[in-house]
Amino acid sequence: CLEIPSYIADALREAAGDRRAVVNATDLLMHPETGLRAINSPAQLAVLEFGATFASQGVQNMTERVEPGMTELALVEQARLNGLPLSCHPVINSGPRAPSLASPSLRRIEEGDPILFAIGVWGGLTARAGFAVRDARGLADANRDYVETFVKPYFAAAVDWYETIGMGVTGGQMYDLIQQHLTDRPFSIALNPGHLIHLDEWVHSGFAPRSKTKLLSGMAIQLDIIPVPQEKAYFTTNVEDGIALADETLRNALAAAYPEMWGRIQARKRFMRDVLGIRLKEEVLPFSNMPGVLQPYLLSPHRALRAL
Q: What is the pLDDT of residues 5-27, one digit of tens each?
A: 999 999 999 999 998 999 999 99
As a whole number, the mean pLDDT across the chain is 96
Alpha carbons 291 and 308: distance in angstroms, whole number: 17
Q: What pLDDT is attached to residue 53?
A: 97
Q: Model confidence over 28-85: pLDDT tens digits?
A: 999 999 999 999 999 999 999 999 999 999 999 999 999 999 999 999 999 999 899 9
Query: Quick one: which of 243, 244, 211, 239 has its CA closest to 226?
Result: 239
Does residue 48 sit in helix, strand or coil? helix
Inter-CA distances, 198 with 25, 32, 216, 306, Å: 19, 12, 15, 29
The dihedrals phi and psi of 76, each to the nearest 5 degrees, come to -70, -25
Q: Which one-letter amino acid corresponds to residue 274?
A: D
How long, in residues, is the chain? 308
For range 192-197, the mean pLDDT = 97
Residue 195: pLDDT over 90: yes
User: What pLDDT does residue 99 have?
Assistant: 87
Rounded CA gap, 102 and 88, in Å? 11
3 — pLDDT class (breaks 50, 70, 90) = confident
- Does residue 177 surpass a pLDDT of 90? yes
Do residues 296 and 135 touch, judged by C-beta distance below 8 A?
no
Listed in sequence order, the residues at least 6 apart from 263 whose beta carbon sits closer than 8 Å to its beta carbon are: none
Q: How far apart are CA 141 and CA 121, in angstroms?
A: 38
The pLDDT of residue 308: 83
Residue 186: its pLDDT value, please? 86
Indicate if the pLDDT at residue 185 is higher than 90. Answer: no
Coil, helix or strand at residue 214: strand
Q: Is the pLDDT of residue 182 over 90?
A: no
The model carries a pTM of 0.94
Task: Give the separation between CA 292 and CA 289, rounded to whole angstroms.
Answer: 9
Query: Would you say residue 203 has pLDDT above 90?
Result: yes
Share of the chain above pLDDT 90, in %: 92
Q: List CB contacts of 52: < 8 A, sequence separation 6 or more.
A: 121, 123, 124, 125, 126, 241, 242, 287, 288
Q: What is the pLDDT of residues 114-160, one digit of tens each?
A: 999 999 999 999 999 999 999 999 999 999 999 999 999 999 999 99
Instruction: List, in order, residues 6 or more apart from 95 with CB less than 8 Å away.
Output: 107, 109, 110, 113, 114
Residue 304 one-letter amino acid: A
Please state, in angstroms and rounded to a whole number, the distance separating the CA atoms of residues 51 and 125: 8
- 88-113 pLDDT tens trace: 999 999 999 988 889 999 999 999 99
Is 2's pLDDT higher than 90?
A: no
**Does the pLDDT value for residue 187 go beyond 90?**
no
Distance separating alpha carbons of residues 110 and 71, to the nearest angstrom: 9
Q: Give CA separation, 41 vs 117, 250, 268, 298, 302, in Å.
A: 30, 8, 21, 38, 36
Query: CB 249: neighbour CB atoms within 10 A?
Result: 10
